[in-house]
Amino acid sequence: MLDFGGETLVLTHDAMAEGVHFQPGQDPADVAWKLVASNLSDLAAKGAEPLGVLIGYQFGADDERFLTGLSEVLEHYGVPLLGGDTIGGEGPQVLGLTALGRATHRPVPSRSGAQAGDGLWITGPVGAAMLGFEALRSGAVADSGAFRRPTPRLEEGRTLAPLVSAMMDVSDGLLLDASRMALASGVTLAIDSAAVPIATPEPRRAEALRWGEDYQLLFTLPAGVKAPVPAYRIGTAVPSTETPVLLDGQPLSAESGLGYEHR
């Protein structure tokens, strides 16, 4: 974040690698959409209004399709392309994008403001991206939209920004991202697994809690405050314990396999 005159600018940068964030041979138009949408999700978690993006692009197998998808996502969200750079290279394609936004509320929400007694909420179900990934891998492209073209919760983020004590997006798995919020805030987040909405069959609930890339907003609200957007209360912030997350009363740690860890 950067104070600039009477405004606060929010800047974020994410990279995507072939074979990690998208599949070899995947439609480059979908890759472009996901690259932009994942960065806009970071702006959503700050309640920010997008101002534009800068792209770092490594030439790939079908650059025209990438440009088609890039035009589609930028037009859909009304975001201009401000510039960037292109390179050649061998090996798996690596792409980067910087998104710039304007904070709509100050102080800007962060992951570090949760207080004991706050309610823990999420804007929607988890596990949809997992099912989409599996559908794409099996060739059922029509059923893979949640993985290929995620939706950043920009409007929800702007609405929530004046009310939340903490907020972030769920990109690496609900349990892992909840642990990050808890550690940053100095609390423990007690989660009721049955209260978490899932997009998967019930036997796969544990997987859905750990699979990322759903880009829902995870946030805390002071006791007694109701979410002004469609959302689900899934737990409570409690005084810090020896682990950042309690799931159904049981302590979880990194060794429990909380979600996707970047190496």
Q: Average pLDDT of 82-99?
A: 95
**Could you say which architecture CATH assigns to the domain 119-252?**
Alpha-Beta Complex (3.90)
Residues 6+ apart with CB under 8 A from 185: 111, 112, 113, 114, 115, 166, 220, 237
- Measured CA to CA, the distance from residue 178 to residue 209 in angstroms comes to 10
Per residue in 176-199, pLDDT (tens digit) is 999 999 999 999 999 999 999 999
Q: Specify burial of residue 219 (Cβ count, 10 A radius: 0-12, 13-18, 19+).
A: buried
Position 228: which residue type? Answer: P
Does the pLDDT of residue 224 top 70, yes or no?
yes
Q: Which tops the pLDDT comparison, 21 or 111?
A: 111
Could you state, in order of their start, the residue ranges of all structural domains in the chain? 2-103, 119-252
- Measured CA to CA, the distance from residue 178 to residue 75 in angstroms comes to 32
- Measured CA to CA, the distance from residue 174 to residue 40 in angstroms comes to 18
How many residues does this entry show for the chain?
263
Per residue in 114-131, pLDDT (tens digit) is 999 999 999 999 999 999
What superfamily would CATH give domain 2-103?
PurM-like, N-terminal domain (3.30.1330.10)
Q: Which tops the pLDDT comparison, 248 or 19?
A: 248
Does the pLDDT of residue 133 top 60, yes or no?
yes
Per residue in 148-178, pLDDT (tens digit) is 999 999 999 999 999 999 999 999 999 999 9
Q: Average pLDDT of 248-259?
A: 78
Q: In whole numbers, what is the pLDDT of the chain averaged over residues? A: 95
Instruction: Give the percent of the chain with pLDDT over 90.
Output: 88
Q: What is the pLDDT of residue 3?
A: 84
- Measured CA to CA, the distance from residue 92 to residue 233 in angstroms comes to 40
Does the pLDDT of residue 263 top 70, yes or no?
no
Long-range contacts made by residues 248-257, C-beta under 8 angstroms, separation at least 24?
A: 248/191, 248/192, 248/193, 248/194, 249/190, 252/175, 252/179, 254/179, 256/175, 257/210
Does the pLDDT of residue 255 top 70, yes or no?
no
- Measured CA to CA, the distance from residue 242 to residue 245 in angstroms comes to 9
Per residue in 26-67, pLDDT (tens digit) is 999 999 999 999 999 999 999 999 999 999 999 998 999 999
Q: Do the Cβ atoms of 139 and 246 come closer than 8 Å? A: no
Residues paired with residue 4 on neighbouring β-strands, in sequence order: 7
Q: Do the Cβ atoms of 212 and 259 come closer than 8 Å? A: yes
Q: What is the pLDDT of residue 254?
A: 67
Q: What is the pLDDT of residue 89?
A: 86
Phi, psi at residue 213, to the nearest 5°? Answer: 70, 20
CA distances from 101 to 6, 34, 69, 151, 213 (A): 14, 18, 21, 17, 21
Question: Which candidate, 158, 124, 115, 200, places its Cα nearest to that of 10?
Answer: 158
Using DSSP, state whether 41 is helix, strand or coil. helix
